[in-house]
Amino acid sequence: MSESNSFFKRSIKSVFSIFLTQTKVSKMERLAEGFVLIEMTGTKLKEAKWVPGSKVQVDVGNLTYRTYTPISVDKNEGKLSFIAYKRNDGPASTWIHSLKVGDPCEVFGPRDSLDFSNIEEDAILFGDETSFGIAKVLQNNVKKTSHTFLELNSLASGKEALGHLGVTGHRTMERSLDGSHLQAMAKEMFDLISKIPDAKVFLTGRASSIQQVRAYLKNSGIPTNKLKVRAYWADGKKGLD
């Protein structure tokens, strides 16, 4: 990191330090290959304003922040937990690999992202490995049924992690090199939406995958204003949330 860039990051941190929460890692659990459940504890978390679907941004080193979805926030104990996925060899994966219980960590949030606190209808979620947390939160809070569609690098490890989380009602497909799995998945989603037209629909995960699924649904007659979108990552880009 250049000296000027380092100075800039320190300056930004100084300005926003009032919003940061000091925590320590209190628990780590490997759910499957690449998936880790991380619990953090901090006194300030007892004051957290959290609604199901909110996000937190975690300092993964050198003032580099990555965004996660808390699957639970315990204000009485001052704890939150989230699922981290080691997607590649970037800063977040390096941080997860070296992380251990007792390590300090700074957290920004929880703060607004999606709001699952009052969903009366069925819900349909599209995503990938980075969407496991939001899938768990949706299932825990939807009044009717959540239907989850996930594209995965590995069906075996993905299903193992989902099993540990207790996420049910999911349709998983392994990524194909030509992306044909996305059209197949989008068609299944369209068929389901046709059966339950009042369902809330959420598209999360990889930006390019969201674009393809969204285009298919739009061309099939699903209004785009019915689709809530949150891109968690994109090829060649950093820090999406």
Q: What is the pLDDT of residues 4-17, one digit of tens each?
A: 455 444 544 444 45
* Residue-range domain boundaries for the chain: 3-111, 123-233
Flag whether pLDDT at 99 surpasses 90: yes
Read out DSSP for the chain?
--HHHHHHHHHHHHHHGGGEEEEEEEEEEEEETTEEEEEEE-GGGGG----TT-EEEEE-STT-EEEE-EEEEETTTTEEEEEEE--SSSHHHHHHHH--TT-EEEEEEEE-S---TT--S-EEEEE-GGGHHHHHHHHHH-SS-EEEEEEES-HHHHHHHHHHHT--SEEEEEPPTTSHHHHHHHHHHHHHHHHSTT-EEEEEEEHHHHHHHHHHHHHTT--GGGEEEEEEE-TT-----
Classify domain 3-111 at the CATH topology level: Elongation Factor Tu (Ef-tu); domain 3 (2.40.30)
Q: What is the pLDDT of residues 181-198, one digit of tens each?
A: 999 999 999 999 999 999
What residues contact 237, with CB distance under 8 A and at least 6 apart? 207
Least confident of 51-65, 122-136, 142-156: 51-65
What pTM does this model have? 0.89
pLDDT value, residue 12: 47
Flag whether pLDDT at 106 surpasses 50: yes
CA separation for the pair 136, 146 (Å, rounded): 10
Q: What is the pLDDT of residues 43-64, one digit of tens each?
A: 999 998 889 999 999 999 878 8
Flag whether pLDDT at 2 surpasses 80: no
CATH architecture of the domain 123-233 equals: 3-Layer(aba) Sandwich (3.40)
pLDDT value, residue 235: 81
Q: What is the pLDDT of residues 62-95, one digit of tens each?
A: 788 899 999 999 999 999 999 999 877 788 889 9
